[in-house]
Amino acid sequence: MSSTIHTDICVIGAGPVGLFSVFEAGLLKMRCHVVDVLPQVGGQLTEIYPKKPIYDIPGLPEIKAFELIANLMKQIGPFHPTFTLGEKVIEVQRDENSWVVTTSDETNIHAKVIVIAAGLGCFEPRKPEIENLEKFEGRGIVYMVKDPELFRDKRLIIAGGGDSALDWTIHLADIAESITLIHRNDSFRGAPDSAEKVHTLAKEGRIDLILNASLLEAKGNGVLKSVTYKTTSETSRDLTADYLIPLFGLSPKLGPIADWGLQLHKNAIAVNTFDYSTNVPGIFAIGDINTYPGKLKLILSGFHEAALMSQSAFRYVYPDQKLSFKYTTVNGIPSF
Ligand code: FAD
């Protein structure tokens, strides 16, 4: 469904750096709309290492990745950012007075400034090598759970052995009519307590667990009807299903960013370290997505870049206003 949003800054990427840029922009009274292709905020921290401790955030001797993201969300709360999640930014175009950022679901965000905080690029699902995969993508085969309600009272096959496969099996067990979890090994890669919960659900008969099995083929007439799998000990079998959800992890790809006329260097956006502006006026790039001599792909580098970027972004958004630098201890947090 298409929708239109108007804002001062469109931040592409809801990783730690994109989120912190909302804070720095907010201090200068600029409103932000944040877009991410993933269904949740947090970028690499939420997607790759949510429970790992981080030791190099200034003032926080140790903090788990998911806690840092929760803190950032709390910190930007007073600025009331808006979000479009689960949609990929595919195009940026110049309008008369603003930029128009368009997503895969036809959301159009009109913004005076674009801040690209897209990290390593778009996380794209690793797909299983099975027959008829493309035929049923979006017609029974989905790679992300955006809205669990879609699966209410449906027959699901979840494939994978990592955290996502385990967590969604546990979560959807109360929602779906039936769940079969298929994994190619007999041990899971995901967190041990989640693996234990999955085994308990199987023992209680609330899910079916098929280990040492691989997917072979998707079947149906226009929409998915069944999935063929094979275990090491038996010949292939068909399993009736409304949805197949392969959760084999995500791998980052630069994706559409490469087509926006930006100067790239080794799959990253070249920026001016004065303010992390790109070669296109009004577009900035901060965090892991940018490159410059001496660049370190660290969260704290991205936070610093967000602060400097905001000063120049202010001049775009308010060309007639004078910017004066103030400490938060002096000014507090401006009200929105
Ligand atoms: P990301 O976190 O990558 O977020 C970018 C977001 O942009 C993603 O959510 C992506 O989906 C989205 N996106 C991309 N393209 C599009 C598009 N076209 N449309 C919509 N959305 C898009 N750093 C440290 O400082 N300390 C550590 O201890 C540390 N440990 C790490 C451990 C691991 C295992 C890994 C993998 C990294 C670690 N890092 C650490 C690095 C740190 O995670 C990155 O520097 C940080 O995530 C960069 O943040 P970001 O916001 O720039 O990008």
220 pocket-lining for ligand 1 (C-beta < 6 Å) = no
pLDDT at position 1: 62
Rounded distance between C-alpha atoms, residue 103 and residue 37, angstroms: 9
pLDDT at position 233: 76
Instruction: Tell which residue, 80, 106, 85, has the closest CA to residue 12.
Output: 85
57 pocket-lining for ligand 1 (C-beta < 6 Å) = no
295 pocket-lining for ligand 1 (C-beta < 6 Å) = no
Give me the torsion for CA of 246, 250, 256, 261, rounded to 10°: -170
* Cβ pair 184, 129 in contact under 8 A: no
54 pocket-lining for ligand 1 (C-beta < 6 Å) = yes
* Cβ pair 83, 13 in contact under 8 A: no
pLDDT in tens, 217-260: 999 999 999 999 999 877 799 999 999 999 998 888 888 898 99
Q: Which segments in the chain show pLDDT lower than 50?
A: none
287 pocket-lining for ligand 1 (C-beta < 6 Å) = yes
pLDDT at position 81: 98
| Amino acid type, 203 | K
pLDDT in tens, 311-330: 999 999 999 999 888 899 99
Strand, coil or helix: 299: helix
Provide the CB-side half-sphere exposure for 21 (13 A, CA). 39
Residue 45 Cα to ligand 1 midpoint, Å, equals 6
Q: What is the residue-wise DSSP string for 2-69?
A: -EEEEEEEEEE--SHHHHHHHHHHHHTT--EEEEESSSSS-HHHHHT-TTSEE--BTTBSSEEHHHHH
pLDDT at position 249: 87
pLDDT at position 58: 97
Give me the torsion for CA of 182, 45, 121, 262, rounded to 10°: 170
Beta strands 264-265 and 243-246 are unpaired
Cβ count near 53 (within 10 Å): 12
* Cβ pair 284, 271 in contact under 8 A: yes
